[in-house]
Chains A and B, each alone.
Chain A
Amino acid sequence: NAGVTQTPKFQVLKTGQSMTLQCAQDMNHNSMYWYRQDPGMGLRLIYYSASEGTTDKGEVPNGYNVSRLNKREFSLRLESAAPSQTSVYFCATGQGITGELFFGEGSRLTVL
């Protein structure tokens, strides 16, 4: 029972490169989220999926796309990475929109 699994854990990109962060959960939760965490900024919501087949923008969606592949998987794609996207990215899941969230261990992305 792994909970919430994020891959990769670390990634270094050059400006303009693309990549996809993967998130998978085995908790049978309906809702999945992508947050970014920057020093002094707390967590900011990028995109979320309230249920399979739906996605919605959060506070900071620009430069990102998401796919809710099925109930278990929610991916975050950076099409053309920028240094401003250097951050730690967290995937989270929950049964309902305003209920308790369960977080992955984070993916640390550096864009040079």
Chain B
Amino acid sequence: ETGVTQTPRHLVMGMTNKKSLKCEQHLGHNAMYWYKQSAKKPLELMFVYNFKEQTENNSVPSRFSPECPNSSHLFLHLHTLQPEDSALYLCASSQDLTGVGTDTQYFGPGTRLTVL
């Protein structure tokens, strides 16, 4: 499945670094999502964008800053992260957020982030 791509696939950064994660979807969808997946924890929703507008910020610390310049691209800007932020960051997209099954989400392969 190459409908949702993420780069980089692996990232190691220090606590003072600034980096960005990129997500691109080729499915013609209008909604995009960021999730965090830590070891032995459920998938945690971070942000939701619908038609480039942020509709959900699930109490995410400000050191994570999302950006959605268009419906196909989603970024997650990272700065002054903590070691506990190390996790797999997954991007997903769906047709939209109107319900009736149109919010079925398709995931990218994720970026494995390690914060030293």
**A and B interact:** no
